[in-house]
Structure 1
Amino acid sequence: MPEPNFLPIEDYGLIGDMHTCALVSKEGSIDFMCWPQFDSPSVFCRLLDGIQGGHWSVRPVQEGGFMTKQQYLAASNILQTRWINEEGVVTMNDFFIVENKQEGTSGSVRTRSSVLVRRLECIRGKMRLRICICPRPDYGRKADKATISEDKDGWLVDFANSQLRLSIYPKGDIDVSLQDGSLAYCTVDVQDGDEIFFALYEQNPKTTNMSSIACLKESEIKTNLFWMNWAQKLQYVGRYRLMVERSLLILKLLTYQPTGAIVASPTFSLPEAINGKRNWDYRYSWVRDASFTVYVFLKMGYGGEGEAYINFIFNRIADWQKAGADKALPLMFSIDGVSELPETELDHLSGYKNTRPVRIGNGAAFHTQLDIYGELMDSIYLYNKHGKPITYDQWLSIRAILGYVCKIWRDPDMSIWEVRSRKENFVYSKIMLWVAFDRAIRLSEKRCFPCPKRLEWMEYRDTLYDEIMDQGYNPTMGSFIQSYETRTAIDSAVLIAPLVFFIAPNDPRFLGTLDTILKSPEKGGLTSAGMVFRYDHQKSDDGVGGREGTFCMCTFWLIEALTRAGIYDAKYLHKAVNMFENMLSFGNHLGMFSEEISISGEQLGNTPQAFSHLALVSAALNLDRGIARDIPAV
């Protein structure tokens, strides 16, 4: 087959079942899916190699062209693709089966394997479609071996290497054929009222009964009800409800149900710049994401998800304590809690738009990133405030963490941007280390927990504050800087300062930082067309090289910082509203955000990105509050 063109990253939607997921293009092709869980090897990966990756495509074949539309069903994660021309209209509903509350509850045990369903329905006229499915298991290293058989009402296609089975109902006039022994295909003619179901699942007895159209129809109804009931719990009623609702639905899809972990993104090695080297595997759970995750879930009415995530983190802390608690807490974990994530390159894959290397695993797992203790303590503090009270045994674990932080708070690290050059005293990390001490002290006081080292913690917290104000601020520039060593470089990560209550949003030092970041890169800032870069690569050597796009999370952080400053100066609030509206326009047709946006407006990096959507929700929540304060009473 000829190599297809790579579709834009923003042309994809996400479906899943809290175990694994798939990316479905606007054209109707599934071009990415790992099986049976998020961090398993891929079986469809055409997104990273047009020939060897594997795919499952559905596409009209008649002449004259057609229009495509794609949307989620309302308040649901069932994705609908529609093909339209003068001859007819066909819809396809794609979803993984989630039939009941138990299956969607984090920490619960599921009794069956994942099932991916695609339902085709002709709703006007007629249309001819071609369906091709070509699994390539083990990251495309293997060609599958397919066999075709029949059951009472449909076709069965079994794939030997991936151990997957495709059911097709009804049999009708469909004729399924093989190409090269691994690609199964068929051409179908549908007329008004016709339906065809495709179901992909493991060849094992734990799978839900897929032997009839009635079973599949019932599963679709139950799945849609599950998602609508879940979305109904959303407690946000502000101006941006639809975007917030979609972000929460996406975040739920990124949750691994058995442990409560949330992957940073379900994809790997989608590049941050075409022909660049910044291609990373994000199918893991970062401790750094904890505070935003817990805050967003709890504030939005999803206490179960917040609790499951904090329990996942505390279980990892328990593992760390059992190992002696004398080394750094791992900064990321697999969804099953494993911290050994060796990074390797898949040389046989061409990469997205031929951008190599294609990496799996993540070498940053072995970095020194001291900021994680601040995010961790902030998440625990927020959970105690908005969720359930922390237990005494959990408090003892917190004391163990702070005992380690007392030993390392003066050390340099690689910080939030996971630089691969030298360690420095990054201001972001120092702020978050201050947060670690501050939240532990506050928690001990609020709960009256015994705290033998309270005075020591207070001393270190206050020392850190003065040190940051002295060495992390450049009075000549009137701005906080990236690190004590890099005194002329600014870093959008310091926008976190007022968000974690390190500094007041109206403090002249922070307003100077805000105004500096708002300048264009040509004028010494980090903002271009209303979107924010992480830092200036010409002034900061991160050891990777190459270019990258603007960072979605940082843009939303800037919006939230502007909102908080806008309480005291309306010009900042006005700027925040405009930037937020502008940023929403760079989400894709489904409201999905990747990690970055290029200067030409295209999405870059792994998608969807959890932190982008977490920061979006937090910015929307705070922007609503800011606007409400600013509207004069009638």
Structure 2
Amino acid sequence: MTTSPAQTCSAARDADGYLPLEQYGALGDGRAVALSGADGSIDWWCVPNMDSAPLFDRLLSADEGGRFVVAPTEPFTVERRYREASNVLETVFTTASGKAVLVESLNSSSAGRLPWAELARRVEGVEGSVTFRIELRIGRRADTVNPYWTRMGHHDMFTVDRVSGLFRRSDNVRIERADDLATVATATVGPGERATVAIVAGEDEPLVVPPIDDIDARIDLSDAEWRQWSAQLHGDGAHHDLLVRSALALKLLLYAPTGAITAAATTSLPEKIGGPKNWDYRYAWIRDAGYSIKAFLRIGAFAEAKAGLTWLLHRLGDGTQPQVCYTLNGDPVSPPRIVDVPGYKRSQPVVMGNLAGDQHQHGIYGDIFETAGRFVACGNVLDARSAETLSHLADECADRWRQKDAGIWELEDPQHYTMSKISCWQALQRAVELVEAGQMPSTCRDRWERERDRIAAWIEEHCWSEKRAAYLMHPGSDRLDASLALAVRFRFDGQDRLASTLDAIDAELGRKGFHYRYSGASKEEGCFLACTFWMVEARMLLGQRERAEAQFAAAMATLGARGVGTYAEMIDPDSGAYLGNLPQGLTHLAVIQAIATLTGREL
């Protein structure tokens, strides 16, 4: 069994009404993710899918945003954690008059994901008596819609645009006020007593009206299903609890209807408070999908890995130019549009959509082939269509590697990024290995080998700096790039030069146990959490166990003290505050890979 880290905090909002990001836990059901704050307020939930419009958006609009609050009416302190090996979240509220536990889940059933969205929240009395205030306020989407409530038979029903939902409650939940602005209720529980509230919602579809007792029972059923899934993961020993927690977070980002893997569940959470780098990450990146599939394979989550790989290969096998990212249904991502809401801690702009869909990144070639190579290495096989798709991509990589691209960090300045060239080398090397394994046709093998070797020679000639004793971000620059730590996992040639590059990255980009993405990034963003765990993994693969373990312990000491195991994209190294969208898939999969490498699990 795994024990989730506990979070003890006062759950105080700042003067503008915002909670620290590290005080959110994530709930999910295979279609959407809800963020529950430590003060009992669910401040983000897109319905029915992760890339749908938000039903609750207090995360980006503290005053006017939609929220679903279940919190004591008295001042309280909080201790919270996930149930063991589960994505069911528990929050213990202690007041002057008593103690009670809030248990919450985006429910599933014994047959898997429910055909409707069911967000369930149950309060259980432990000591004394605690009265809870319950507020359900539907978001207005920057005043572009006006939610309204109706009475359908004996049921309270809301409608906002194409989404309809039911507010279900147990008999001891008393409605105090109900209008089109909000429904407000109260419930009091003592030892052994419970009260349950829930939302059942769907888009353009009839709604089932489940009895509240059935909804309540599905909280525990969902918990059992999560624990059963976690029990099948490979490995034990050191850091197993942390590995399972990140695996559970990564599982939340797998969009079950298609197999797409979402980069993160939110949009526009700033990389620096007050800064303009606020992106919409509710889409599926080829890079993130490839890395996530590898992580799933490494821990034995084969069904999730296969679903993700099938989605990825289908996107690449339709004869069109590969995109950097797609919607969860596999469509092109719309350009960003600005949404007129205040933004998290007044950080603007708030956007929906992403420009990355129009970029080219050479890294997609390496990501695809590394994923396919790992899939085969685990004893699986490719079908004929997938092998043909990969052959065409290898040819494309061999043709295009000399061009500039946007790089792994999706920068606006096209360059010959060193990491992009290494990714092309990686793609052609894995293509050759797949030929040797009998998984791809050998017709173009000689060409792939020649171009692979040319790429390696080009990198050595143009990207290495004797002055910096490191590979540079790109030729003609003096900058460093922390993503080059990945070259060790990719088995790029030259361990001495890679080790020296890691030392340079630590010296220039490291701060208080974490790492910035590249030279100059500290002026406009926090440390990128995945980079630190890539460094841990690289150190371990280079035989530097003590340094790897020390870096891992330092990072986890900070993260373990900051929340319940739902990690964001970045962290402020001075304050420890989370920055960027969450839960962030790259962070969680980097944790998984680092732990697996530390414990000696095969790549």
Under TM normalisation by the shorter chain, which class is it? over 0.9
1:219 offset after TM fit, Å?
A: 1.4
- Tell me the distance in 1 between the aligned counterparts of 2:206 and 2:539: 52
For structure 1, which segment, 218-227 or 611-620, has the greater mean C-alpha deviation from structure 2 after superposition?
Answer: 218-227
Give the corresponding residue for 2:352. 360
Question: Is this contact kept in 2: 1:42–1:137, CA < 8 A?
Answer: no
The equivalent of 1:334 in structure 2 is 327
2:482 alignment partner AA: S
Change (3 A) 1:387 1:294: farther
Which amino acid counterpart does residue 144 of structure 1 have in structure 2?
Answer: P
Residue 564 of structure 2 aligns with an amino acid whose one-letter code is L
* Alpha-carbon distance in structure 2 between the residues aligned to 1:397 and 1:589: 42
User: Is residue 490 of structure 1 aligned with residue 490 of structure 2?
Assistant: no
Residue 128 (structure 1) aligned to one of 127, 131, 144: 131
Secondary structure of 1:625 counterpart: coil
- SS where residue 175 of structure 1 aligns? strand
Choose which of 430, 445, 451 in structure 1 pairs with 2:442.
Answer: 451
> Which residue pairs with 1:38 in the alignment?
50
Q: Please tell me whether the aligned partners of residues 388 and 440 of structure 2 are also in contact (alpha carbons under 8 angstroms).
A: no
Is the counterpart of residue 228 in structure 1 residue 227 in structure 2?
yes
Counterparts of 1:15-26 in structure 2 under 5 Å?
15-26=27-38
| d(CA) in 2 for partners of 1:274, 1:232 | 39
For 2:565, the equivalent position in structure 1 comes to: 591
Percent of counterpart pairs with the same letter? 28
1:249 pairs with 2:248? yes
Answer yes or no: is the 8 Å Cα contact 1:482–1:489 preserved in 2: yes
> Residue 291 of structure 1: CA displacement?
3.2
In the TM superposition, 1:238-277 aligns within 5 A as: 238-277=237-276
Residue 309 of structure 1: aligned partner: 308
**What displacement does 1:222 show?**
1.7
Q: Structure 2 CA distance, aligned partners of 1:186 and 1:448?
A: 61
Q: Which residue of 2 aligns with 1:516?
A: 504
* 1:217 corresponds to: 216
CA distance in 2, matches of 1:442, 1:163: 49
2:485 is matched by which residue type in structure 1?
A: L
2:584 paired with 1:609: yes
Moved more, 456-465 or 183-192: 183-192
Which stretch of structure 1 is more off in the superposition, 469-478 or 165-174?
165-174
User: Is the CA contact 2:157–2:167 (under 8 Å) kept in the aligned structure 1?
Assistant: yes
Is contact 2:298-2:596 (8 Å) kept?
no
Give secondary structure in 1 for the equivalent of 2:290.
helix
Change (3 A) 1:366 1:161: closer
SS in 2 for 1:120: strand
Query: Could you tell me which residue of structure 1 aligns to residue 552 of structure 2?
Result: 580
The answer to whether structure 1 residue 196 and structure 2 residue 184 are counterparts is no
For residues 449 and 22 of structure 1, the distance between their equivalents in structure 2, rounded to whole angstroms, comes to: 42
**Conserved? CA contact 1:31–1:55, under 8 Å:** yes
Listed as ranges, the gaps of 5+ residues in structure 2 are 1-13
CA distance in 2, matches of 1:293, 1:578: 25
Deviation at 1:160? 5.0
Are 1:532 and 2:506 matched, yes or no? Answer: no
Aligned to 2:466: 475
Encode CA deviations 1:594-614: one digit per residue, 9 max, x unaligned.
Answer: 101112211100011101010
Q: Are 1:43 and 1:139, in contact at CA under 8 Å, matched by a contact in 2?
A: no
CA RMSD in angstroms, aligned pairs only: 2.1
Deviation at 1:141, TM superposition (A): 3.2
Alignment-derived partner of residue 4 in structure 2: none
Q: 1:208 to 1:173 in 2, by over 3 A?
A: closer
From the superposition, tell whether residues 312 and 481 of structure 1 become closer, same or farther in structure 2 (CA, over 3 Å): same
* 1:403 correspondence with 2:395: yes
The answer as to whether partners of 2:103 and 2:123 remain within 8 angstroms in 1 is yes
TM-aligned CA distance change 1:518 to 1:365, over 3 Å: same
- 2:97 is the alignment partner of 1:87: yes
In the alignment, what sits opposite 1:624?
Answer: 599
Output the CA distance in 2 between the equivalents of 1:176 and 1:46: 22
Query: Aligned residue for 2:167?
Result: 167
**What displacement does 1:50 show?**
1.1
> In structure 1, how many angstroms separate the alpha carbons of the residues matched to 2:111 and 2:537?
34
Q: CA deviation at 1:206?
A: 5.5
Q: Report the AA paired with residue 344 of structure 1.
A: R
- Quote the residue 1:158 is aligned against: 158
Mapped contact 1:145–1:161 kept (Cα < 8 A): no
Seen in structure 2, the aligned counterparts of structure 1 residues 173 and 595 have a Cα distance that, compared at 3 Å, is closer
The superposition leaves residues 404-440 of structure 1 with CA deviations (integer Å, 9 ceiling, x where unpaired) of 22221110011110012x2100000000000111111
- Kept in 2, the 8 Å contact 1:100–1:222? The answer is yes
User: What pairs up with 1:7-156 in 2 under 5 angstroms?
Assistant: 7-62=19-74, 65-103=75-113, 112-138=115-141, 141-147=144-150, 151=154, 156=156
Partner of 1:631: none
AA at the equivalent of 1:455:
D
1:113-147 deviation per Cα after TM superposition (whole angstroms, max 9, x unaligned): 11111111222211122111111154663332223
Given that 2:172 and 2:187 are in contact with CA atoms closer than 8 Å, whether structure 1 keeps it comes out as no
* TM-score w.r.t. length of structure 1: 0.88
Q: Secondary structure at the match of 1:5?
A: coil
User: Do the aligned residues in 1 keep the contact of 2:16 with 2:345 (CA within 8 Å)?
Assistant: no
- Report the CA distance shift for 1:597/1:47 in structure 2 as closer, same or farther (over 3 A): same
Name the amino acid aligned to 1:13. G
CA deviation digits over 1:203-236, x for unaligned, max 9? 68765542242x1233123211111110110112
Letter in 1 for 2:285: W
C-alpha displacement at 1:148, in angstroms?
Answer: 5.2
Residues in 1 aligned to 2:486 and 2:81: alpha-carbon distance in whole angstroms: 34
C-alpha separation in 1, matches of 2:208 and 2:157: 17
Over residues 497-535 of structure 1, what are the superposed CA-to-partner deviations in whole Å (9 max), with x where a residue is unaligned?
11100135xx3212221111121xxxxx11111111111
- 1:580 corresponds to which letter in structure 2? F
What secondary structure is seen at the aligned counterpart in 2 of 1:586? helix
1:542 alignment counterpart: none
Separation in 1, partners of 2:363, 2:187:
56
* 1:169-209 CA-partner distances (Å, limit 9, x unpaired): 33347134135x32111133333332211110226876554
Contact 1:137 1:161 in 2 (8 A): no
SS in 1 for 2:158: strand
Q: Is the 8 A contact 2:175 2:183 kept in 1?
A: no
Distance 2:360 2:375 in 1: 26
One-letter code of the match for 2:524?
R
**3-state SS of 1:447 partner:** coil
Whether the 8 Å contact between 1:298 and 1:386 is mirrored in structure 2 is yes
Aligned residues of 1:28 and 1:59 also touching (Cα < 8 A) = yes
Report the number of matched residues.
585
* Partner SS state of residue 567, structure 2: coil
